[in-house]
Amino acid sequence: VSRVASLALVSCACGAVASAYGRTKERHPCVRSVCDAAEKGVKTLTAAAASGAQPLLTRLEPQISAANELACKGLDKLEEKLPILQQPPERVTS
């Protein structure tokens, strides 16, 4: 996940979405209230899920590691076949 997130195109897209989300919250107080409540709920659920899932993640660590290795190899091949993934977004759009 971190490798995909670090790709220039993905990172730029995430930044654009985050920026649009922030601007929307700033401009619309009603939307801000709903978003703030949703964010608080997500944070609470995430914390509960993380602590509850830890024993399962520990047991599944070898399988998760194997899946991560396969995903990384697939991403290596994808980056090899599509070098545009490594280009800055400005260059891709031009």
Residue 51: inside a domain, yes or no?
A: yes
- Token pair 């993934």 in the structure block, residue: 85
Q: Could you tell me the CA-to-CA distances from 23 to 27, 43, 75, 80 in Å, in that order?
A: 6, 21, 33, 37
Per-residue pLDDT for 45 more than 90?
Answer: yes
User: How many residues in the chain?
Assistant: 94
Per-residue pLDDT for 85 more than 90?
Answer: no
Range(s) of the domain holding residue 39: 12-77
Domain count for the chain, please give it. Answer: 1
State both tokens at 60.
């599944």
Which is higher by pLDDT, 37 or 86?
37
User: What is the reported pLDDT for 28?
Assistant: 96
- Token pair 């409540």 in the structure block, residue: 37
pTM of full prediction above 0.85: no
Residue 7: inside a domain, yes or no?
A: no
Per-residue pLDDT for 79 more than 80?
Answer: yes
